[in-house]
Structure 1
Amino acid sequence: MPTILVADDDANIRELVCLFLRNDGFDTVEAKDGKEALTVYTSVHIDLVVLDIMMPNMDGWALCKELRKRSPDLPLLMLTARGETWEKVKGFELGTDDYLTKPFDPLELTVRVKSLLKRYKMAFTQTIQFGSITLDRKTYKVLCGANSLVLPLKEFELLYKLSGTPGQVFTREQLIDQIWGMDYAGDDRTIDVHIKRLRERFVGTPDFCIETVRGLGYRLEIMS
């Protein structure tokens, strides 16, 4: 089973989170601050990290940034005592994948953990399929039912990125860095133009929609 690292300076929170995760079959390890979390991360194989923002020695912001540098493909779930938009934006820009505001329902946390692990498993494959849509990164082809579509490279990469982790919010800055590269000198509003084009190409499709998350960025939702 996956091993979850729980980093929080509140021993009661750690105990509660670990209890519910273990009851769902996960293995857990604990850390009381960011520095200890990094030590644990280097000595144990970790599949996902649940981390609090406010911790001594190294806070959640610094821990998130360091973990993302060491492992771009490590799922990160951030806990916060407040649900303010600026905190979410900052967390997403540093590389967190999801947020949960305290106090939280432990059952919701386990559901989010499972969802993140499922998203990342999908992201590791070269082919993504949902509904009648298939994205093949080896050939850069898009199959929509029996029809084959050829997208410009950046549009394909953008759609592939969003659909690889459905439901996850990406900021414009994240998408620019991950698709255009950190040295890109253009306006990040180019993301808006590419999103508009993708929406136009797939207008009327019942398989997915690309949603604008006001103040944050974009996410792709797969329609059931």
Structure 2
Amino acid sequence: ARDKEFDRIIGLEKGSDDYITKPFSPKELVLRVNNLMRRVYRDEDKYLSVDGYDIDENQRTVVEGSTQIELTTKEFDLLMMFVNNRGKAFPREKILEQVWEENYFGSDRVVDDTLRRLRKKMPNLSIKTIYGFGYKLG
């Protein structure tokens, strides 16, 4: 069993999150694993607040106050593109590329239609139209 301080330091320097020496109690091991899992999953949670809306990126939900706002998949994807690039302006073609990807072959007006629905559902969202160019949040 490697229970010397030197061994523990080497293990931690090599990237270990924790180090436990033998003999150990099963209860201690379970508690250490649970603590590690709690830290890992807490770090992965993506909660954002934008213009009075609370967004949970993992659950793909938007809440205003106590009211959940129902968004379609593309409405949510469009929202997240703007939220993750706040202040950056996008032309319609770039939005199509990022949100609808290359497999979309319809009209580029789908961006305008989806944005219109998003603005109707989320009127406080500050998505601005940049005349002759495209759109940006903020």
> What is the TM-score with the length of structure 1 in the denominator?
0.40
Matched, 1:142 2:59: no
1:217 corresponding residue in structure 2 = 134
Matches within 5 A, 1:30-179: 126-179=46-99
Question: Contact 1:171–1:217 (CA<8 Å) still a contact in 2?
Answer: yes
Tell me: higher relative CO, structure 1 or 2? Use CA pairs within 8 A at least 6 residues apart. Answer: 2
Q: In structure 1, what is the equivalent of residue 37 of structure 2?
A: none
Q: Give, in angstroms, the shift of residue 130 of structure 1.
A: 2.5
* 1:178 partner SS: helix
Quick check: 2:51–2:126 contact (8 Å CA) kept in 1?
no
Q: How many residues align?
A: 95
SS in 1 for 2:48: strand
Distance in 1 (alpha carbons) for counterparts of 2:68 and 2:103: 33
4+ runs deviating over 3 angstroms = none
Whether contact under 8 Å (2:60, 2:76) holds in the other structure is yes
Residue 126 of structure 2 aligns to a residue whose secondary structure is strand
Q: CA deviation at 1:126?
A: 3.4
Q: Quote the Cα distance in structure 1 between the aligned partners of 2:90 and 2:115.
A: 12
Q: Kindly report the root-mean-square deviation, in angstroms, between the aligned alpha carbons of the 2 structures.
A: 1.9
* Larger fraction in strand: 1
Task: Tell whether the 8 Å contact from 2:78 to 2:99 is kept in structure 1 after alignment.
Answer: yes
Identity %: 31
Q: Which amino acid aligns with 2:78?
A: L
Letter in 2 for 1:169: A
Larger radius of gyration: 2
Question: Counterparts of 1:130 and 1:217 in 2: how far apart (Å)?
Answer: 20
Cα offset, 1:168, TM superposition: 0.7
- Cα distance in structure 1, aligned partners of 2:61 and 2:102: 26
1:185/1:165 Cα in 2 relative to 1: closer, same or farther (>3 Å)?
same
The normalised TM-score by structure 2 is: 0.62
Secondary structure of 2:88's aligned partner = coil
Deviation at 1:195, TM superposition (A): 0.8
Q: CA deviation at 1:131?
A: 4.3
**Could you say if the C-alpha distance between residues 210 and 131 of structure 1 is closer, same or farther in structure 2, counting changes exceeding 3 Å?**
closer
Q: How big is the shift at 1:134?
A: 1.6
Unaligned 5+ residue runs, structure 1? 1-124
8 Å contact from structure 1 (residues 128, 164) kept in 2: no
Does the 8 Å contact 2:90/2:133 carry over to 1?
yes
